[in-house]
Amino acid sequence: MDAAGGGELSLAAVRDALVRLEDSVVFALIERARHPRNAPAYAPAGGGGRSLVEFYVREAEALNAKAGHYQKPEDVPFFPQDLPSTLFPTKSSPQVLHPLASLVTVNDAIWKMYFDELLPLFTVDGDDGSYAETVVLDFACLQLLSRRIHIGKYVAEVKFKDAPQDYSPLIQAKDSNSLMDLLTFKAVEEKVKKRVEKKARTFGQNVTLEDNAGGSGFKIDPTVLSKLYDQWVMPLTKDVEVEYLLRRLD
Amino acid sequence: MDAAGGGELSLAAVRDALVRLEDSVVFALIERARHPRNAPAYAPAGGGGRSLVEFYVREAEALNAKAGHYQKPEDVPFFPQDLPSTLFPTKSSPQVLHPLASLVTVNDAIWKMYFDELLPLFTVDGDDGSYAETVVLDFACLQLLSRRIHIGKYVAEVKFKDAPQDYSPLIQAKDSNSLMDLLTFKAVEEKVKKRVEKKARTFGQNVTLEDNAGGSGFKIDPTVLSKLYDQWVMPLTKDVEVEYLLRRLD
């Protein structure tokens, strides 16, 4: 992660990375919302009965791997089987996480959430025929949500380092519920929900030369963003944190 | 183009598509500006001495073609040689342009402009090692700029249909300069420049829960956007319009 640039992990740097990624998530959802649902992109078709979106994500991940992606613990592929090696020189980042960090993934849950729950909330019914563009935009949303959520590995590491005496007994007892409680800060979560909703209101307005101040509606319902963070992004991030912590003393 | 959904091309629909794409261009540039220049992504390397960015764009275009992209006259690949056919069913759009529209491309000029002129203007010097992410974001910028500029084909068609008596003699005389004059509306161009700058100011602000109103700087210099449109996007769009019109009576 950029937050680990100096080799020393700080909570401020991890928070900055998370806050910056909120903008990217909002942008990506607004871009996907340009197109209607486009159901044919998700129906079994083509080679082997796979949907266009599954075909595209598998192939795009293979291409990204050749280009040097998926070297960092927060970049987790959705289809990790048989990913090719990079063909280009990469720069290695300092290892600040426990080596087992790479095993922690909640991508299956992210995939299901995105297609079953989120997509119907922020796209309108319909079919504009732009299936290829649609799945490219879906992949961008999926990747950003996955990176956002898997940065939970760094959050957990920072919190553990800050208070190993609180975490270690719960880890040794494999007490997931108490770890979850220890990681939960309701006041912080409320702030995040409000901030992403404000970002959606700001970035989703229809800007004209007249001073309309968003008067003509938004490109995406801002409450979808607070719901996304409340119901899925923050809970899944904490799942990542717990899964990471449970391996932290191995 | 979405603007041709009903089979009937209207200037209002083409303008709406252009205005909406401004948002996408601003988003894409802001996203690329998250990373510094990352020069190693552009240096000859890997297989055949190609740069990472050239490798990535070639492969990504091949994948997008398999997914059904590049079926519309405004979607023009940068490396059109040997693109594979689509593996998935596509929906054909009504043909509203002259059949020779598909021959019109200014992608070589867009490529050169983007890497030689634009990139140094809106990215900072430096190397964060995220080369794969960087070229993915470059490709998004390139594709959006290319689509924006090649929508000039529809602009030209609408203008021609509106006043064939003005355009036809100039087309027959192959008088590019007079066509360019006829297509140029300085007042409209000034409005576009102001609008994209305002969009960059709106979408590039650092949104916090406190009411700072962009007080803490922008993620991209808003004047880069007006310069981009003034010096490159609008002139290249008019090049596309002239090239299209010169073939319009064939």
Tens of pLDDT along B61-76? 999 999 999 999 999 9
The neighbour count for residue A153, using CB atoms within 10 Å, is: 28
Q: pLDDT, tens digit, for every residue of B200-232? A: 999 999 999 987 654 568 999 999 999 999 999
pLDDT value, residue B192: 98
Please give the pLDDT value at position A199: 97
Q: What is the pTM of this model?
A: 0.96
- Predicted pLDDT of residue B117: 98
Q: What is the DSSP letter of A207?
A: -
CB A227 within 8 A of CB A190: no
A163 touches chain B (CB under 8 A): no
CB contact under 8 A, B195 and A208: yes
pLDDT over 90 at B234, yes or no: yes
Inspect the interface and report whether the beta carbons of B130 and A207 lie closer than 8 Å: no
The partner residues of A205 in beta bridges, in order of sequence, read A218
User: What is the structure's pLDDT at B4?
Assistant: 47
Q: Do A88 and B45 touch (CB under 8 A)?
A: yes
Of the listed ranges A85-94, A176-185, A186-195, the least confidently predicted one is A85-94
Whether A207 and B195 lie within 8 Å, measured CB to CB: yes
Q: Report pLDDT digits (tens) over A93-103.
A: 888 999 999 99
Least confident of A69-73, A126-130, A140-144, B46-50: B46-50
pLDDT tier at A175, thresholds 50, 70, 90: very high
Tell me if B52 and A67 make a contact (CB, 8 A cut-off): yes
| A173/B2: higher pLDDT | A173
Superfamily of domain B2-247: Chorismate mutase, AroQ class superfamily, eukaryotic (1.10.590.10)
User: What gap in Å lies between CA A155 and CA A132, rounded to an integer?
Assistant: 35
- Banded model confidence at residue A32, pLDDT cuts 50, 70, 90: very high
The ipTM of this complex is: 0.95
CA dihedral A208, A214, A220, A221 (to 10 degrees): -170
State the pLDDT at residue A1. 64
Place of tokens 């290249």: B236
Band of residue B2 on the pLDDT scale cut at 50, 70, 90: low
Q: Which residues from A are below 8 Å from B66, CB to CB?
A: 55, 59
**Contact call for residues A1 and A17 (beta carbons, < 8 A):** yes
Residue of A29, A42, A133 to mutate for B, most B C-beta atoms under 10 A: A133
Summarised one tens digit per residue, pLDDT across range A123-133 is 999 999 999 99
Interface test with A, best of B21, B130, B146 (most A CBs within 10 A): B130
Q: What integer is the mean pLDDT of A50-61? A: 96
Q: Check if the beta carbon of residue A121 is closer than 8 Å to that of residue A224.
A: yes
From chain A residues 61-80, the ones with a CB under 8 A of any chain B CB are 63-64, 66-69
Q: Tens of pLDDT along B13-37? A: 999 999 999 999 999 999 999 999 9
Higher pLDDT, A89 or A213: A89
Dihedrals φ, ψ of A216, to 5°?
-100, 35
Of B31, B64, B205, the CB nearest to A27: B31
**Residue ranges of B 198-237 with Cβ closer than 8 A to chain A:** 198-199, 202-203, 205, 207-209, 219
CB contact under 8 A, A202 and B202: yes
Q: Taking 80 as the threshold, does the pLDDT of residue A118 lie above it?
A: yes
If you search the block for the tokens 């948002």, which residue do you land on?
A: B23
> What's the average model confidence in pLDDT over A15-40?
97
Q: What SS3 class is residue A44?
A: strand
